Amino acid sequence: MKNEFNKYGQRLTEGEYQAKCVDLAEKSYGKPGYERAEIGLMIDHRLGKDFPSQKREALVDAVLSARRAIPFLLAKDKLKSAFGKGPKKPTGAALARHLEKKCGKVLDKTDLAQFLGL
């Protein structure tokens, strides 16, 4: 990230983010709450540590919802391509659009662009 500070306070640097992700994975991977904590670190890195708690919970839920949709969206792409109505190989574009749609319900355009790296 170019700037450590923004409207939601200080952000984790790339190095801090990576170190915290490794530490979290070593201690908690596969345990209840792991994914929520991982997404929380992503928010701290991309938006800031002071991101409002209600919006934080809504954003975590949006990302989790988008992740749960991945198998469905990939299967849908495969079916479309099998019937000649889509790309030969799934592109991931549907996944990106779905994530953008889910997160866009929580974030304004500026925050969405910062969160998704657009």
Residues of the chain with pLDDT under 70: 1-5, 77-79, 81-82, 85-91
27 and 9 in a common domain: yes
Q: What is the b/e burial string over 13-23, where b = at least 16 CB atoms within 10 angstroms of the residue's CB?
A: eeeebeebbee
* CA 112 – CA 117 distance, rounded (Å): 8
65 and 25 in a common domain: no
What pLDDT is attached to residue 1?
A: 45
110 and 59 in a common domain: yes
84 and 38 in a common domain: no
78 and 24 in a common domain: no
Q: Is the dihedral of CA 112, 114, 116, 118 positive or negative?
A: positive
46 and 75 in a common domain: no
How many domains are there within the chain? Answer: 2
45 and 3 in a common domain: yes
* CA 26 – CA 44 distance, rounded (Å): 19
What pLDDT is attached to residue 3?
A: 54
pTM (2 d.p.): 0.80
Domain that holds residue 83: 52-118
What pLDDT is attached to residue 38?
A: 96
What pLDDT is attached to residue 52?
A: 96
* CA 2 – CA 72 distance, rounded (Å): 35
